[in-house]
């Protein structure tokens, strides 16, 4: 059973995850626009992952008998200076999301809501992966100086990313 404070905070998190999806869709569009289809693919997979993050909370609130309330999704950024700029902004955003998840865990503990605390652990782990991916790509972009053949090779690598639905992901683990 969820209390009102927890429901409100989880609803706010749905909105943040939806914004994440929207932001990465915008980055995907921008990547296509500047001719980097691999980057576009990577961000579109990330968009799909964020939709899963949002829907898991949506299903959780519904399953616990709470009311899902959807909010306005803020307009994402649409202009970027470079592929490195996109990934640096991605990392800043993911750190913000990690902080938000940690605050939700703090709230669940304070409210003695053990079910929500367990539910949120999946997000704690997921955020480690999210920040790790961004750090890795930022390091590679810096190595190649963000341009030329190195950038095109990285574009090819990012073209390989495939969206893995969460159930399949858990079976693999």
Binding site for ligand OFO (CB under 6 A): 17, 20, 50, 53, 94, 97, 130
Task: Indicate the helix (H) or strand (E) that contains 153.
Answer: helix 148-158
Instruction: Compare residues 94 and 113 and give the one whose CB is closer to ligand OFO.
Output: 94
Least separation, in Å, of the C-beta of 134 and ligand OFO?
9
Q: Which two tokens stand for residue 136?
A: 């890795």
Minimum distance from residue 119 beta carbon to ligand OFO (Å): 14
Sequence-distant (≥ 6) Cβ neighbours of residue 142 within 8 angstroms: 84
Q: Are 94 and 131 in contact (CB under 8 A)?
A: yes
- In the complex, what is the shortest distance from the CB of residue 152 to ligand OFO, in angstroms, rounded to a whole number? 26
When the beta carbons of 30 and 43 are compared against ligand OFO, the nearer one is 43
Shortest Å, Cβ 122 to ligand OFO = 11
Cβ closest to ligand OFO, residue 13 vs residue 151: 13
User: Which letter, b or e, does each residue of 118-143 get, where b requires 16 or more Cβ atoms within 10 Å of its Cβ?
Assistant: ebbeebeebbeebbebbeebbebbee
Nearer to ligand OFO, 32 or 100 (CB): 100
Place of tokens 């995850």: 17
């Amino acid at each position: 059973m969820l209390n009102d404070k927890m429901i409100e905070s989880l609803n706010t998190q749905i909105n943040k995850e939806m914004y994440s999806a929207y932001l990465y869709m915008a980055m995907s569009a921008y990547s296509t626009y500047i001719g980097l289809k691999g980057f576009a693919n990577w961000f579109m997979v990330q968009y799909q992952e964020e939709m899963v993050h949002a829907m898991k909370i949506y299903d959780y609130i519904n399953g616990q008998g709470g009311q899902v309330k959807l909010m306005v999704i803020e307009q994402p950024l649409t202009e970027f200076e470079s592929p490195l700029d996109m990934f640096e902004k991605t990392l800043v955003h993911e750190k913000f999301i990690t902080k938000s998840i940690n605050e939700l865990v703090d709230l669940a503990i304070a409210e003695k809501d053990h079910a929500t605390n367990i539910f949120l652990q999946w997000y704690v782990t997921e955020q480690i992966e999210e920040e790790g991916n961004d750090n890795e790509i930022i390091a590679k972009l810096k190595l190649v100086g963000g341009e030329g053949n190195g950038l095109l090779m990285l574009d090819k690598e990012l073209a390989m990313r495939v969206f893995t639905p969460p159930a399949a992901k858990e079976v693999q683990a």
